[in-house]
Amino acid sequence: MNEGTITVSLGDRSYDIFFARGVYPLFQEWVSRFFPGTPVFVVTDRTVLSLYGDDIRNMLSGVPHDILSLPPGEEGKNWDTVQEIYSFLSRGGAGRDSLAVAFGGGVVGDLAGFAAATYLRGIPYVQVPTTLLSQVDSSVGGKTGFNLAEGKNLVGSFHQPRAVFIDPDFLLTLDVRNLRAGMAEVVKCAFAGSPSLLETITDRTGNWKEMSGDAWITVIRGAVAFKAQVVERDEKEVSARRILNLGHTIGHALEQASGYGRLLHGEAVAMGLAWEAVFSRRQGTTPPALERRVIDLLLDMGFSLDDSAVPIPAISEAIGMDKKKLVSDIDMPLLTGPGSCVLTRIPVSVLREDLPAVREELRGIVRDRVEAAGRAKTPVRKEEDLRTPPVDVPASARLSISELERRVVVNPRDLGAMIALSEAYRRAGNHAGAWETIKEVLDQDPSSASAQSVARDIEREMKEALPDMEESPSPLLEEVVILEEGAFELRSADRRPDSVEGRDEAGDPSPPEAGPPVRTVTMANVYWEQGRPEEAMQIIGKILRNNPQDPRALSWLESREGTRAKSRGEQVVSSLTAFLKKMTKEFGYDVSRHH
């Protein structure tokens, strides 16, 4: 093993994990050495293919290969997709000496790995993970599988890859939400058995999002090294490997109960880590100081610790279907110290009965944290912002409304400017504009702490302005479900349909080819006042397509149509007059005598 490689020693199933920035040459060298002339079958998803399709084709130039592009997301991690991969391999004439390549995130890796494990009773495959979560977790260890309606990963197989190629530069295409989700698995590894990794991420709590490529390799390598050691001791999860399920017993239950796709896997794991720390402390295993260290670290990194829209009965039922269940018991890793845990047999009934108390205690811990911060006269944190850490006020907050509007028009993905603009609207008393703007931010980044805070301020002020709002919600807020502790969820009718084209790997919409993506009446007005009526009309048209009865959009359209028609008429008259003057000049007509 060298500095760029970790070897997972499993006898004839041993394999190397390569770490490098710009990993393609390593991949090419490895394939030409171990699978010369062998057909290669690449399984990826559409968003990854849109980003790295040319790279994949270039690194396999001269090698017979084919590419299968799957729909992205956890929703497609099912039997139907596995069958699609089987058909892809069969149509291409894949044999037992062919090589499958899982090029993508955890879902792609699990599905392609399972298909490789079972097609022709097993063909070799390699992992090229492109998300942080897949780099530190799912690409290593040989677990493959898919979900059933009854539970996550209930069908699967152990099938070790022949190699794993990890490149931190893939992380450049991820948004903060997906990076944070991957960090949940890093935190899990640190608390489960790597004190040195725990110290590393604790030191970087405040700036982990700004880490360089080399710093990412250090963190990823630390998590992978710990997992590789565990896998070497217990490849098939008979005993010791179960410590890697830390946070996953309740995390998987939350993920299933909320409906696959609502929470990213890492977000559910982070919640599971917090819930299980509280449960373990209540069982007398985890010291209170360690429980608080887990919770504080997760909050400081920006994780939500609960999804209050998910009811306890649904979580309880999902735990009963967990694949870690043994008869009526579950083997759960419980924390005993920083970087150490112990497997404990827990009756399912005990865990289920304790869930309501765990949720209530967790909320109390978070409230106490905020109250303590207030007593220490730290920067003000409202209770609705508990689920995520404080966010520095962007420099854009000091700009005027007109300057902020210009910034949003120039770059509709500048969420900092949009948040500052919403706050500026709120302070100016324009609550409708404030809400429309912050709703757009929440649609793009639901976990944004500062957006949550501004949205709660708008809600509070509207309640003060409309005392009867509890019984009769104001039209301003009727399009949003306001959950406990600052969680805002846009209703399904208000969400945009997920699309594959033009999205980056993290699922974030990329700038469209034409037309502004910020679809609010307020921004339509900004475009109109800047002399860009066509773009303004595009915004209103899209709003009305989603909701034909939107009162503000209808009112805006009615008030502008007359002006627009008059403007069009004036433009026609002006153009005709110019044309006639030109004709008069060129041909000597006297236009004034013929009217």
The verdict on residue 578 lying in a domain is no
Does residue 241 carry a catalytic annotation? yes
Residues 25 and 152 in one domain: yes
Give the C-alpha separation, 442 to 309, whole Å: 17
- The active-site residue, picked from 77, 180, 265, 407, is 265
Q: What percent of the chain has pLDDT over 70?
A: 77
Give the C-alpha separation, 370 to 593, whole Å: 83
Residues 338 and 442 in one domain: no
pLDDT attached to residue 329? 87
Which tokens hold the place of 25? 């040459």
For position 297, which CATH number holds? 1.20.1090.10
Residues 409 and 366 in one domain: no
- Order of strands, edge to edge, in the sheet holding 325-326? 325-326, 329-337, 340-347
Residue 23 has φ and ψ, to the nearest 5°, of: -85, -5
Q: What are the pLDDT digits (tens) for 574-584?
A: 666 666 666 55
Does residue 391 have a pLDDT over 50? no
pLDDT attached to residue 197? 94
pLDDT attached to residue 387? 41
pLDDT attached to residue 378? 46
Does residue 32 have a pLDDT over 90? yes
pLDDT attached to residue 495? 39
Q: Which pLDDT band holds residue 560 (cuts at 50, 70, 90)? A: confident
Residues 355 and 478 in one domain: no
Does residue 488 have a pLDDT over 90? no
Q: Which pLDDT band holds residue 474 (cuts at 50, 70, 90)? A: very low
Does residue 333 have a pLDDT over 80? yes
Residues 423 and 466 in one domain: yes
The verdict on residue 134 lying in a domain is yes
Angle at alpha carbon of residue 205, lines to 199 and 209, rounded to 5°: 125
For position 57, which CATH number holds? 3.40.50.1970
Does residue 143 carry a catalytic annotation? yes
- The active-site residue, picked from 65, 77, 159, 241, is 241
Please state at what angle helix 521-529 crosses helix 533-546, rounded to 10 degrees.
170
pLDDT attached to residue 578? 64
pLDDT attached to residue 309? 83
Does residue 237 carry a catalytic annotation? yes
Q: What are the pLDDT digits (tens) for 409-454?
A: 767 767 888 888 888 888 877 777 788 788 888 877 776 777 887 8
Mean pLDDT of 247-270: 90
Give the C-alpha separation, 30 to 223, whole Å: 24
Residues 492 and 402 in one domain: yes
Does residue 252 carry a catalytic annotation? yes
The verdict on residue 214 lying in a domain is no
Does residue 248 carry a catalytic annotation? yes
Does residue 477 have a pLDDT over 50? no
- The active-site residue, picked from 77, 152, 162, 248, is 248
- The active-site residue, picked from 252, 426, 439, 552, is 252
Residues 69 and 110 in one domain: yes
For position 501, which CATH number holds? 1.25.40
Mean pLDDT of 393-420: 70
Alpha-helical runs (H) found in 376-430: 401-410, 415-427
Does residue 594 carry a catalytic annotation? no
The verdict on residue 200 lying in a domain is no
Mean pLDDT of 106-127: 96
Residues 359 and 463 in one domain: no
The verdict on residue 544 lying in a domain is no
DSSP state of 396: G
Give the C-alpha separation, 81 to 260, whole Å: 15
Better pLDDT: 114 or 2: 114
- The active-site residue, picked from 177, 221, 227, 431, is 227
pLDDT attached to residue 344? 93
Does residue 431 carry a catalytic annotation? no
- Order of strands, edge to edge, in the sheet holding 99-104? 5-8, 15-19, 163-166, 125-129, 99-104, 40-45, 65-70
Boundaries of domain holding 73? 1-174
**Least confident window among 155-169, 322-336, 510-524:** 510-524
The verdict on residue 477 lying in a domain is yes
| Number of domains composing the chain | 3
The verdict on residue 334 lying in a domain is yes
Q: What are the pLDDT digits (tens) for 270-288?
A: 999 999 999 999 999 999 9
**Least confident window among 300-314, 348-362, 472-486:** 472-486
Which residue, of 327, 346, 378, is where some domain finishes? 378
Q: What percent of the chain has pLDDT over 90?
A: 46
Residues 151 and 53 in one domain: yes
Which residues lie below 8 Å from residue 472, measured CB to CB, with a gap of 6+?
Answer: none
Which residue, of 458, 482, 511, is where some domain finishes? 511
The distance of Cα 259 from the centroid of its chain, to the nearest Å, equals 15
Which residue, of 483, 511, 539, is where some domain finishes? 511
Does residue 29 carry a catalytic annotation? no
Mean pLDDT of the chain: 80
Does residue 406 have a pLDDT over 50? yes
Residues 153 and 256 in one domain: no
Please give the model's pTM, rounded to 2 decimal places: 0.62
pLDDT attached to residue 405? 74
Does residue 394 have a pLDDT over 50? no
Are 385 and 378 in contact by the 8 Å Cβ rule? The answer is no
pLDDT attached to residue 522? 72
Does residue 139 have a pLDDT over 70? yes
Does residue 407 have a pLDDT over 80? no
Better pLDDT: 515 or 592: 592
- The active-site residue, picked from 185, 267, 276, 291, is 185
Residues 156 and 10 in one domain: yes
Better pLDDT: 510 or 222: 222
- The active-site residue, picked from 65, 74, 77, 143, is 143
DSSP 329-371: EEEEEEEEETTEEEEEEEEHHHHHHHHHHHHHHHHHHHHHHHH
E strand intervals along 191-271: none
- The active-site residue, picked from 237, 276, 384, 405, is 237
The verdict on residue 187 lying in a domain is yes
Residues 430 and 314 in one domain: no
- The active-site residue, picked from 74, 159, 245, 405, is 245
Amino acid letter, 296: D
Does residue 122 have a pLDDT over 90? yes
Q: Which pLDDT band holds residue 497 (cuts at 50, 70, 90)? A: very low
Angle at alpha carbon of residue 121, lines to 117 and 237, rounded to 5°: 45
Q: Which segment, 309-313, 477-481, 483-487, is predicted with the most confidence on average? A: 309-313
Does residue 265 carry a catalytic annotation? yes
140 in the Ramachandran plot: left (φ > 0), alpha (ψ -120 to 50) or beta? Answer: beta
